Amino acid sequence: MFDFDYEEKSAEQREKELFEKTSKKQNKIVKRILTGVFCGLGGTYLAIGIIALIISEDLETSIVGYVFGGIGLLFVILGIILHFAIPNVGNYERYKKTVDTFGYGNSFNLNTKLEMLTEENKELKERIESLEKKLRDLEDK
């Protein structure tokens, strides 16, 4: 009788799509934060090391420059490695297994579920509005 133009998807498939969307957003934020922190620290240490090397007049200050420069370089390399090591989209199967086994034990899983529920709530509200509009249109005819 009614044609709602709504593509029925299994709950598992919808949850997987929402998980991929929210985990992509979370991982993007985490990548930016970690890269910024480690590269910022590394840049600071590297700058201190270079300044110490430039103003070094004796062996002790040049050693300090090399140590600070090396530490800075390690932080920059670590920031770059972490940027490329963090996946763009989380693994849904591993997420489900972790949640089933341990529950929402960490803030990433809890935040992911909260974002998924918020997104699902928004989609359901939009669907209700469209169905109410179609119902009003049918009543007007």
- The model scores a pTM over 0.75: no
pLDDT per residue as tens digits for the range 6-43: 455 677 787 888 888 888 988 999 999 999 999 999 99
82 Cβ neighbours under 8 A, 6+ residues apart = 31, 34, 35, 38
Q: What residues does each domain of the chain span?
A: 13-140
Q: What is the mean pLDDT of the chain?
A: 86
Q: What is the pLDDT of residue 2?
A: 46
Q: How far is CA 15 from CA 7, 62, 109, 125, in A?
A: 15, 57, 13, 17
Give the separation between CA 62 and CA 46, rounded to whole angstroms: 13
